[in-house]
Amino acid sequence: MTIKIATISFLLIVLSLAVSNPSQKLRGNLTKLTAQTENQDKKNTMQRILDDSAKLEKLASDFQFIEGPIWHPDGFLLFSDIPANIIYKFGSNQQVEVFRSPSGKANGNTLDQENRLLTAEHENRRVSRTEKDGKVITLADRYEGKRLNSPNDLVVKSDGSIYFTDPSYGVSKEQEELGFYGVYRLTPDGKLTLLVKDLVLPNGIAFSPDEQKLYVNNSEAGYIAVFDVKPDGTVTNQQLFAELKDASQGGVPDGLKVDVEGNVYSTGPGGVWIFSPDGKLLGKISVPETATNLAWGESDRKTLYITGSTSLYRIRLKIAGVRAGK
C-alpha cells in the first residue's frame, strides 16, 4: 500500500454544551460553537464552511445506538437504531416515528437513483432495497457462495452501482465464512465484485464529487484510505488520506461524507473531523457523545445531521453536501 502522509493542521472548535434534561426522543436545546483558530488564513478557510455563531442542535435522544442517517427528498430523515432493530423517521413535525421494525438490525442507509432506500443490514448480513410498495428485497448477501460478514455502509455511484463495506461488527468470529473484510461494488445488473480486502475493518464510504476518488474509513486502524476509481468502476492506488487519532477522545473513523467542493467529513474522536480535498485538517465539530455517522439534509443539503451514540443532532453549514439519490 502506497502511503501519502497528509500534513494535518489543527483547528479547534470548542463546544459549550447547554445542560438539558433527557428528552425521551424529543427535541433538545441548542448548543453554541465557538471557533478558535491558529491564524487568520485557517480561520477564513473554516469560516467558508461554518460560521462562528453556528449552533449544534440536539433533536432527539434516548436511543440505544444510532447510525446510518439519510435525508429523503420528500422532506424527512431516516436513521437506524441497530440494537433496537428499528429504522426511525424524523419528519418536519420534529417528531421521531418508527419507519420499519424489525429492520434486520440496519446500519448504513442511502438512496438509489429512484430514491429507493438501500440498507446495510447486520442481522440479515445483506444489502437490501425497499421498493416503492414497501417490500424489502435482497440485493447482495453472498460472495462466491459464502455469506457476507455484516454489511456496514454504502454509497451509490452515478452509474447506479452500489459500493459497500463489509466488516465484522455485527457477527461473531464463528459466524464468519469469508475470512476477510471487504469493499464491494454491486452493479445494477447484480454483478458483485470484490474491490479491496486488505483493510482492517472497512466502515464509512464516500465518493469525491467527480467520482474519481473513493474514500473508505479504516476504523480500527484510525485512518481514511483513498483510492483512484478506474473507468470500469474498480479501484486502484490505495493511499493514506488522513489519520484521525486522539487518545483523549472517544470514537473512531466511522461515518463519512463529502461536500460539493470536495471537503471530506468523517466522524472520529471527539466529533466530526473536516478535511480539505488534499487531506489537511480544517477543523472539528465537537459532539458531546461518540459521533457515529452523518448526512446532508434539507432541500439545499446545507444542514449536517449527525448521529451520536444515543442522540440525533444537526448543524447548519455554508457548503452543500453531495446529493444522495436523484
What integer pLDDT is reported at residue 51 of this predicted model? 86
Strands 281-286 and 271-275: antiparallel
CA–CA dist 141, 127 (Å, integer): 6
Q: Calculate the CA dihedral of residues 50, 289, 14, 259 and round it to 10 degrees.
A: -20
Arithmetic mean of pLDDT, 9-18: 35
User: pLDDT at residue 94 above 80?
Assistant: yes
> pLDDT for 254-296, tens place per residue?
999 999 999 999 999 999 999 999 999 999 999 999 999 999 9
Arithmetic mean of pLDDT, 74-92: 96
> pLDDT for 62-74, tens place per residue?
999 999 999 999 9
Closest to 119 measured CA to CA, from 95, 73, 86: 86
Q: Helix (H, G, I), strand (E, B), or coil: what is residue 44?
A: helix
Give me 43's grid cell: 480561520
What integer pLDDT is reported at residue 170 of this predicted model? 86
> How big is the chain, counted in residues?
326
Arithmetic mean of pLDDT, 55-61: 95
pLDDT-based confidence at residue 12 (cuts at 50, 70, 90):
very low
The residue with greater pLDDT, 36 or 303, is 303
What integer pLDDT is reported at residue 42 of this predicted model? 54
Phi, psi dihedrals of residue 47, rounded to the nearest 5°: -75, -10
